[in-house]
Structure 1
Amino acid sequence: MMKRFEEAVSRLRPYLFYTLRSRVIAILLLSSLVPLVLIGGVSYYMIASMLNNKVMNGVRSQLEQTAFSLDKEIQSLNHVAMQLSFEGGVGLDFKAYLSSADFYEQYMLEQSIQNYIDLITYTSPNIGLVHYYFSDTRKNAFRSNDMTSDFYPDKLPKLYSFSGITYHAIHKSFKLGVDSLVLSVDRRIFIPEYGTLHVYVETNPQLVSHILGTGQSGMETAYLMTDEHNRIVYSEKEDEFAIGQELSDKQSDGARSGYLFTEKAGDWTWAAIISKQDFDKEKYSWLRNFVIFGTVSLAVALGFASILWRTVYKPLAGFNKEIRLLQNNGGFHSILKYPRIAEFDYVLNRFDEMRQRIWRLLQEARRNEKLRAELEVEKLMVQINPHFIHNTLDTVRWLARLNSQDEIERLVATLNKVLYYNMGKGGTATIGQEIALLNDYVTLQQIRYDFRFEIGIKAEDDLMDVPIPRFILQPLVENSLYHGLGDEGKIEVKAAFDEDKHIRIEVNDNGAGMSEEEIRQLFEPETGNRKKKGMGIGIGYVRRVIAARYGDDASLDIRSKPGEGTSIVLCIPIEVEQTGE
C-alpha cells in the first residue's frame, strides 16, 4: 500500500500545484496580485475619471470665472468711458475747453476736467490710464504726461466694436514706464465741431495680471482670446498660436496636442489649451509609482511566503517523522517536540492521545489473544454443562417414575423446566411465559424451604402475549424470599396497563422490609462479597436490562421500610413492533 502511494506521489510531482509549498506560494502571490490588480484598475479608472472630469471641470470653472471677470472689467471700462464722454457731465466743460481762447479760462476748465477724471478714477480703482485724442491726427486733446510716444490705438487687437465704441483685447499698456497687460475701450465723443475726438480708457496695470493669475489650472496651459469672428486676438504662446489665425479644434491636435476649453462671453471667447503630454504626465507618474509599489509588494509577499513555508514545513516534517516512527511500532513513547504554534501543538496533543490509545488497544489485543483459547474452552463448557445437567435430570425423572417416586419426579420435572428456560437467557419472552416460569420457581422454593408462604399472581388477559425481556419477574420475587419473608408470608404479583399505556408490574410482600442502605446495595453489580443466591441473578441485573433496552422510557422503583414489607414497581413500554399492534 505504501509503495503504491509513493508511486502515485512521484507521478503527481510534475504537476505545478501538487506540493503544499507551491500552493502556499501561489496563494500568497494571488493574495497580493489580485488586490493589486483590482486596486490598480480601480485607481487607474478613478485617476482617469478625476483628470477627465474633476480637473477638466475645474479648468472649465476657472475659465468661466476668468472670462466673467474679464468681461466685467470690459463693461466697467465702457461705463467709465461713457461718463468721460460728451453724454457725461464732463462733455460741456470739454467743449468749452477746446473752443476757449482765453488761457486762464482754459486753465480753469482743465482743472475742472482733471478733477472730474480724478473723481471717476478714484471711485473706480480698477481704472488706469485715461486719454483724450483726435483719431485723425493722433494729437492729444488734453494734456497727458504719462503716455508713451507710440500711442496707436487703431493697431490694437479688437474684440468687437459698435456705435463708435471699440473694445480691445488684452494688450500692453500705453502708460509710461508700465510693462503690464491691460484691457481698454476706445469711445468716440460726439461733439459737432470735433468729430474725431475720442476717449481712451484702460484698466489698472495690475488688474489683468491678477485675473489671469487666479485662473491658472496648475498644468502647462496656453490661454487665448478670440474676437467675434473667432480669430485669435490674444495669445500667451504666439509662436504656437499666432494672432490673427482662426481658432479651431484642429489646432489642439498639432505639435502642441492637447485639450481645448472655451468660454464665450458676449461676442468674444476666452480659451485654454492644456497639453496632452502634460495632462498624461500625471497618469504616467501614478502608473510608474504603482509599478514600483507592486514590485515591492510582490517581493515582500515572496519573503512572507518563504517565512510562512518554513513556519509550516518544520512542524509538518516533525509530525511526519513521528508518524513514520509509529508505523514502525517504535514511536509510542517518543518525546514530542512542540513547535509552540497553537494549532500544531493542538494536533500533536491529539496525536499523542491517539497513539497512547493505540498502545493500550494493542496491549489489550495481546491480552485478549492470550485468553482466546481459554475463552473458547469456557464457551464449550458453558454450552455443554447445561445440556448435560438437563439430560441427567431427565434420566433421574424417568427413574423416579419407574420407582413410583411421584414427589421426586415432580421436583425433578419442575427443576428441569426451570433449567431449560434458563438456557435461553438474554432473549425475549412473553409475560405468560414469565408467569409460568415464576410458578415453577415458587414450587421449587416451597419444596426447598421449611416454611410455607402464599403467592398470588394477577395479570390481565391482554398482557399474556406481550413480549418482555427474559428473567424479569423471577429476580423481583426472589428479592421478597431473601429479605425477611417468614411463616404466613404473602407475595402478591400484579401486571396491568397503566395510564401511560406502559406495562406496570408490582411485587408486594409482608416481609421484614429493608433499609435505605440495603436497597442501595441491591442495585450494585454482583461481586465476590455479594454472591448470587438460588437461581436468580439480582435486582441489579433487572435494572441494567431495562436501561439497555428501554433507556429512560422504563423505571424500577423500590419502596420499603424495616418491619413494613417491600413494594417493587416496574414500568416498561409496550414493544409495538413485536406485539403486532
Structure 2
Amino acid sequence: MKRRAGSMTFKLFLTCLVFVLLCVAIISHLSSQFVRNHVEERDQEFINQILLKVNEYLALNFVSMQSLLFSVDSYLDTTDFDEDKLGQYLDQLYGVNIQYISNIYVIKEDYSIIGGRTITRVMNEPLAELEPVYRIARQSAFRSTISMPYDNRFTGRTVTLARKSKYNDSLVVAVDINIRELETKLLQIHEEEQIQLYIADYGGNIVASSKDDSVAAGMDRIGGMSIAQLIEADKTVMRSESGSRTESLFVKLHSPVYNWMLVAVSDGSRLSRILNDINGHFIRLILFGLLLSLITAMTITRYIRKPVFELVHKMKQVERGKLEVRSGKIRNDEFGYLSRTFDRMLRQINDLFQNAKEQKELQAKLEMQVLQAQINPHFLYNTLGAISHVVRLGKLDKVDPVIASLISILEYGIKDPSYKISLQEELNNVRDYITIQNIRYDRDFKLVEAIDPELQAFKVFRMFLQPIVENSIFHGYRGGREEGAIHIEVYRGDNRVVVDVIDHGIGIDEEKIDQLLMPGPEERERDSEGRERIGLANIHGRIKLHYGLNYGLRILRAPGKGTCVRAEFPIPDEEGDKGDEHQMSDCGR
C-alpha cells in the first residue's frame, strides 16, 4: 500500500515538474514575442492618442477663435461704425483672451487695421503682410479662412484666422493665433513623453513645434523625412529607412479645422529601452521557472490530495442533508477559497430558507391588513355620514352618486386581494373614491389622468392606488380642508412601468417622508377624525413582495409645491420591448 502510494506520488511529482518547466519555457518564449509586438503597437497607439489630444485642443481653439470672429461681426451689426468704440471693444476681447490669441483686429481696404493690442491701436498704418489675409477672406464668402504662416511686425511668427464681415463688406475680422502658446503646449507634451511634435500646413511650412521657435520657422524637414514626403505619403504610420536599431517612428494626423498636418516623431530610443528591459525580464523568468517547477511539483504532490478529499467528504455529508457542515481547518490557498465559498453557499441556503419563511409570514400579514382595510367600517360610517349630510342640506341629487360609488367600492373590495386586476379597474375604483370624498368634504378634488393607452390593461394588485390618492388628500390637501387637482400619470421608463400620483398641496416634511415608507407602527396612519387608513408603507411592502426589492414606492417633491408618490413595477416578460420608453424625470413632466 505504501509502495503503491509512493509510486503514485513520484509519478505525480515527475509529471508536474516536466509540465510546469515546459509551460514556463514555452509561455516565456511566446510571451516575449507577443509583448514585443504588443509594445510596438501600443507605442504607435500611444503616439496617435497624443496627436488626437492635440487635435482636440486645436478644435477647441478653432471654436474659440470662431466665436471671437462672430462676436466682432455681431458688434459691427449692432452699432454704427465708429473706430474708437470698435477699438475699445477689440481691446476688451483681447484682454479676456490674451492667453490664446496674439491680436484681434479689423482689416480695412487699405490694409490698415483697427486692433485690440495697444501697439496696433497706435501704429495702424497699412500693413503689406495682411494683403493675402484680406484678399483671401474677401474671396471666401462669409467663411473663415486660415493664412499661411508669415512674419507679422507686431506678433512675430503668425497664423491668422480671418472672415469677411457680413454687415460691412469692406471689412475683414481677423484673429492672430498665439503660436508661442501653442508651442508651449507641444513642449509640455514633449518634456513628459519624449516625443517631438510638429504642426505643418500643406504648403510645406511648419506652423509650430516642440522645438525652439526660431529653428522650427526655417525647417523643411521633420526628423529624417522632408515635409513634402510626409504630405505625399499615403500611410499615417511610417518608419525611417535607416538601418539603425533605433529607427524613428513617424505618425501623422490630419487636423480638419485648420487644415493642418500633425506629426509626432519618436526616435525609437524609448521603445528600445523598454524592449531591452523586457528581454532581461524574460531571461530571469525562465531561470526562475526552473526553481518554480521544482517547488510547484513538490507542493502539488504534498497538498493537492488532502484538501480535495476533505471537500468531497463535506459534499457527501450535504448530500445526506447535513447543511450545518463546516470546515475544520482554514487555508489561504485556492482550496481554502473553495472551502470558504462552499461554507458561504451553505449559509446562504439556510438564509434563503429562513427568508422565504419570513417573507411568507410578512406577505400573509400585509394581505390581512389590506383585507381588514378593504371593508373598513369607518369608511362605511363616513360615507353614510356624507349621505346624511347631503340629505340634511337638501342636496338629494348627490345621494345616488354617493351610494353608487359606495356599492362599487364595496364590491371591488370584497374580492380576492391576491387576484390581480387591470390598471383601468383600479382607476375606476379611485374615481368612485374621489366622488365620495368630494361630497364628504364638499370640495372639488379633480382627477387628472395621463395614461399610456397600452398600459390600461397592465396587471396590478388590488387596492394599491386608492391609499396613494388618499395620502394626497390627507397630507397634500390637509385632510380635505383644501381642494385641488390630483394628477395620475402612467408611462414606461427605464425598463419599468411608472405610476405617478401628484398633488399640488402643502407638501410633506422630509422627516415625515422617511417615516411614511417605514414598516411598523408608523404605517397605521389616521385621518382627521382619528380613524385608521391604509399606510403607504403597506403598499410599498406589498410591491416589494410581489415584484422584488428593486421596485416599490418613492416619495418625491413635485415642482413648485406639492408631493409626488411614484410607484414602480416591472414590465412583464411577455411584453418584451413593446412600446416606446420615456426617460424617467422629475414628477410633473
Q: TM-score, normalised by structure 1?
A: 0.34
Structure number, greater radius of gyration: 1
